Amino acid sequence: MDFNLTREQTLIQKMVRAFTENEVKPIAAETDKTCEYPRENIEKLFHYGIMGMCVPKEYGGAGSDDLSAALAVEELSKVCASTGDIVATHNGLCCDPILRNGTGAQKQKYLRMLTEGHKVGAFALTEPNAGSDASKGTTTARLEGDHYVLNGSKVFITNGYVADVIVVFAMTDPSKGTRGISAFIVESSFPGYHVGKHEEKLGLHGSPTAELIFEDCIVPKENLLGQEGKGFKIAMQTLDGGRIGIAAQALGITEGAMEEAITYTKSRVQFGKPIAKFQNTQFTFADMKVAVESGRLLVHQAATLKSAGKPFTMEAAMAKLYTSENAMKYTVKALQMFGGYGYTRDFPVERMLRDAKITEIYEGTSEVQRIVISSNMALK
């Protein structure tokens, strides 16, 4: 197995790292404080080809691979998990299902909008009573002549109040459970589409999360994504890929916390020497390093399998489970090294801790990941 990045992957990593240091890091604390969507930086990421980076060049994208996309999210999330989240959602949860399931006309129109057109994408599956169990969704889509009429609501939608293009899942035949779910490409300009509540969250304050409401929303018939009744399959396929992005985000958060803690403990002197010189501190850093490097291998494995067109469901779940739980574990340990200062907003580790928690929840909770992993282990 070759563990080396290609020349293109290395260049993307360096470019995003430089952008993160120069453009994202200086405003990360303010973004968290004000809860403002980092619009200018997202526009710049469109310009650099990071938004929609895995979309083929024929549809306006950069034609990069899934590992490159994971590297970009990891670098951004080291200093601002909100920015990493916006990018991961746009690329993995909106562009990807259209690329994999769209018609030629849909790909030409919407993938170009999501790349060259600088339109932001979102993915709308979760409902108030349908989280992990998508079969309990009550949003409906009724075919009327040349269009569908959507009614219902979605909650906790990342990019929700800034999204222009949304992949929405609705029941076309509620009697069939998951086999009655269909997927649609919805534009925010469609009649009957509304943005509801803007969520106030523990973390990811710069990531725009909102409720979406459909009141007799008119969606052209040609905006059905895939076939009627095949939406659940599209959703699960998309979430498999999306978990790689969240794993990369969690990995980046852990790395960022570790780097901040290393810098601080080298300069913080107690009992006559920097606290980085104490053995218990060094042992904690050793554990962090093992978690980061092993997590990186899991992320890279899943991304590489996805790009190769091979099964990656279990590998993506393992990567997300491992990196998200370590993000929580080691941001807590990093904060502890700062003592009382870590509990204040003078240092970014308290923000990193708040941001880390969501990685254990969205794109499938840790409990769901364990179900996915064990169901793919041929235990019966």
| Together in a domain, 333 and 344 | yes
pLDDT value for 130? 85
Tens digits of per-residue pLDDT, 294-325? 999 999 999 999 999 999 999 999 999 999 99
pLDDT value for 357? 98
Please give the DSSP secondary-structure letter assigned to residue 130: B
Tens digits of per-residue pLDDT, 46-66? 999 999 999 999 999 999 999
- Picking from 229, 259, 293, the residue at the C-terminal end of a domain is 229
| Together in a domain, 288 and 189 | no
Tens digits of per-residue pLDDT, 187-229? 999 999 999 999 999 999 999 999 999 999 999 999 999 999 9
Domain that holds residue 318: 232-377
Query: Around Cβ 188, how many Cβ atoms within 10 Å?
Result: 18
Kindly tell me if the per-residue pLDDT of 127 is higher than 70.
yes
Q: Is the dihedral of CA 22, 23, 27, 32 positive or negative?
A: negative
Catalytic residue among 144, 260, 363, 367, which? 363
Kindly tell me if the per-residue pLDDT of 378 is higher than 80.
no
pLDDT value for 133? 84
Kindly tell me if the per-residue pLDDT of 273 is higher than 70.
yes
What CA–CA distance (Å, rounded) separates 323 from 219?
A: 38
The CATH number of the domain holding residue 44 is: 1.10.540.10
Please give the backbone phi and psi of residue 171, each rounded to the nearest 5 degrees, phi first: -80, 115
| Together in a domain, 42 and 99 | yes
The CATH number of the domain holding residue 248 is: 1.20.140.10
Cα separations in angstroms, 344 against 92, 338, 339, 350: 34, 10, 10, 7
Mean per-residue pLDDT of the chain: 96
User: What distance lies between CA 239 and its chain's CA centroid?
Assistant: 10
| Together in a domain, 93 and 170 | no
What CA–CA distance (Å, rounded) separates 324 from 295?
A: 9
- Picking from 198, 229, 260, the residue at the C-terminal end of a domain is 229
- Picking from 204, 229, 254, the residue at the C-terminal end of a domain is 229
The CATH number of the domain holding residue 191 is: 2.40.110.10
| Together in a domain, 239 and 366 | yes
Kindly tell me if the per-residue pLDDT of 1 is higher than 90.
no
| Together in a domain, 200 and 285 | no
Task: Find the mean pLDDT for residues 316-342.
Answer: 98
| Together in a domain, 152 and 260 | no
* Total domain count, the chain: 3
Kindly tell me if the per-residue pLDDT of 135 is higher than 90.
no
211 carries an active-site annotation: no
